[in-house]
Chain A
Amino acid sequence: MVSDRSKLGFYLLLAPLLLWLVTLIILPHIGLFIVSISEKVGVREYEIGLGNYAVFFNEPLYWRTFARTAFMSISTTVLTLLLGFPIAYYIAKLTRGRTKTTLFLMCLIPFWVSELVRTFGWMILLRETGVLSSFLQYTGVIGGPVEFLYNDGAIMVGLVYTSILFMIVPLVTTLDSLDDSLIEAGYDLGGSGWSILREIVIPHAMPGIVSGCIVVFMLSLGNYLTPILLGGKDSLWFTGLIYTQFITRFNWELGSAFGFLLLGLSSTIVFFGLKLSRQSLSDTMGR
């Protein structure tokens, strides 16, 4: 009896989560999948087939765009890690109490405004008549106005800025849990800063590094606004392709197929990333 009742309670508690998963995640995806395997043969005529998926592999434009998006997202992830790690280390290990909270809040502040506003902020800074160009002309570093916007570099800057918090938070959490005495013990036993970082700090922070990387990678891959706005004419991004298929081409079938390919391919990349770093998803996300 008791176990029956506790089971009931368990399912009742689970119900909202299940409802949420089923109605907002699973059902739309099933619908999307059905759309993705419908091939258009004429006006309001469809038949089932994998033609939409074949389009992706047969048209170099599409898979190249995906490869480019994935490559840039990986670069963004690496760059975010390189920038975020020292910041997280500083916050977690070298500051205490109030300073720590303040620094953490400072990382959060940009996220109080919407992504659109943040991106426009970067546009104001980087455009030809923008703050950076004017400043460099004023200081005489450059002779005439320079366009910093509308290139891959601008996209990277925007993506790193957008996602760095999601790297810092898990890193601070894992680094916080690293006992200072382990680092001291490392020094005491003759370790140098570099060897302690490599043998003690990074292995300890690995779950945080991996979960941060997964989040940043997925965010970058799925980002739409930043690459479109900052990339300008070179802003080829896979989500942009999906948007175009859905909205301007009225080709939901291909758009849905692209959506599933994005899901599958990004999961594959994450899977290999986990294998490479010898971490498991439950290790990294369970923290």
Chain B
Amino acid sequence: MAQTADLECCDLTKDFDNFRAVDHVNFVVPQGSFFSILGPSGCGKTTLLRMIAGFQFPTSGDLLIKGQSMIGVSPNKRPISMVFQHLALFPMMNIERNIGFGLRQRGVPSSEIKTRVGRVLERVGLPGIQDRQIGQLSGGQKQRVAIARCMVLEPDVLLLDEPLGALDLKLREHMKIELKTLQAEFNTTFVYITHDQSEALVMSDSIAVMNKGKFDQIGTAKELYYEPANSFVAGFVGDANRFEGKVTALNGQIVSLITDAGITIQGQATTQVPTIGQHAQIFVRPEVIQLSKDPVPNKENQNSIKRVVNNVLFNGANSMVILCDPKSGEKIQVTLPQKGAFLELDKGDTVYTSWKPTQARCFTSEVH
């Protein structure tokens, strides 16, 4: 039997005066993994994190760390550390006193604090900055000091509350990789919450997608991307073109629907197959859509449609083209391969799009 999970939530629920912020959430985070909770703002992820940290108390359910229930345990007694959204470094202390704060509270002798602070600073790649003030650090350095301040306490679980949000884009990209490296280095369980899907996809071993207080899906980045459990996950994780319409035909898992604009398209329903006449949505990732200058023979339900180029969004390897349906004006986004015939594509050109129904996902529309 594997060792006990570092963090486990059982039916964790939090009710506020007039709404339920966290709704029967269950998950298990094994030791040493990088677990992300991904969701839009207001989905309840912050409340969940604050319950784990101990700043809020669940209405019902249980929360276990290393098999120990944390209900009724105050934040300063939990074997957890948290990196706050704005890092919450203490501006009234220098780096050494900041990092040593937790050790001082535990009554560690000052000589030992000194060596441990020095060691953790080396591990985060900032040796010898003990005497500096917080204001003298760059954004990325502050980030690492905040992690060092937690890691020096050797917590069982490190919580991170969107710590990259305040950084500029370039540094954020860099820190994503660095965080992952640090996590591997310390081999500590990280629980990371974010609304930025790319942060979650890049760093995590496992991701939970949270929506309206519930976990819609827990899985690896690949699973979420390619096998979304519902329309929310499909729409939230990664980019996707969404089509909505009435189901007209079924062929096993392949669903045909006619959009409001009158176009018939097909996609694969992997979870629940809708019935004819029901409203459904089909999600198509921009990179699975094929472009061609000539009409594609529509023999295998290739969803071949003629479209007009509305706009070209050049971004190197990530370039996109916005296409417009000449009849309905409906727009879709397609990845633009930076090679071959489509380099010269320009506004007003006519192209044909197609995709395999098995690469598109169909979900029943939620009843409103």
Task: Give the interface of A toward B (CB within 8 A).
Answer: 179, 181-182, 184-192, 195, 199-200, 203-204
> For B76, what are the chain A residues with a Cβ–Cβ distance below 8 Å?
187-192
> For A189, what are the chain B residues with a Cβ–Cβ distance below 8 Å?
76, 81, 101-102, 105, 149-150, 153
* B230 CB to nearest chain A CB (Å): 34
> For B105, what are the chain A residues with a Cβ–Cβ distance below 8 Å?
189-192, 195
Instruction: Determine the distance from Cα of A160 to Cα of B214 in the docked complex, in whole angstroms.
Output: 53
The answer to whether the Cβ of B342 comes within 8 Å of any Cβ in the partner chain is: no
The answer to whether the Cβ of B37 comes within 8 Å of any Cβ in the partner chain is: no
Interface SS, A side: helix
Per the 8 Å Cβ criterion, residues 70-92 of B in contact with A are 74-77, 80-82, 84-86, 88, 90-92
Q: Most chain-B CB neighbours within 10 Å: which of A189, A200, A204?
A: A189
Instruction: Determine the distance from Cα of A200 to Cα of B135 in the docked complex, in whole angstroms.
Output: 16
Instruction: Determine the distance from Cα of A187 to Cα of B73 in the docked complex, in whole angstroms.
Output: 12
* B145 CB to nearest chain A CB (Å): 12
Task: Give the interface of B toward A (CB within 8 A).
Answer: 53-55, 74-77, 80-82, 84-86, 88, 90-93, 101-102, 104-106, 149-150, 153
Known: A179-B86, A181-B86. A188 touches B92 (CB 8 A): no
* A200 CB to nearest chain B CB (Å): 6
A–B complex contacts, Cβ < 8 Å, 24 sampled: A179-B88, A182-B88, A184-B84, A184-B88, A185-B84, A186-B90, A187-B75, A187-B76, A188-B54, A188-B75, A188-B80, A188-B82, A189-B81, A190-B76, A190-B102, A191-B101, A191-B102, A192-B76, A192-B105, A195-B104, A199-B90, A199-B101, A200-B90, A204-B92
> For B85, what are the chain A residues with a Cβ–Cβ distance below 8 Å?
181
> For A199, what are the chain B residues with a Cβ–Cβ distance below 8 Å?
90, 92-93, 101
> For A181, what are the chain B residues with a Cβ–Cβ distance below 8 Å?
84-86, 88
Residue of B whose beta carbon sits closest to that of A202: B92
CB < 8 Å: which of A184, A185, A195, A203 contacts B92? A203
> For A200, what are the chain B residues with a Cβ–Cβ distance below 8 Å?
90, 92
> For A184, what are the chain B residues with a Cβ–Cβ distance below 8 Å?
53, 55, 75, 82, 84, 88
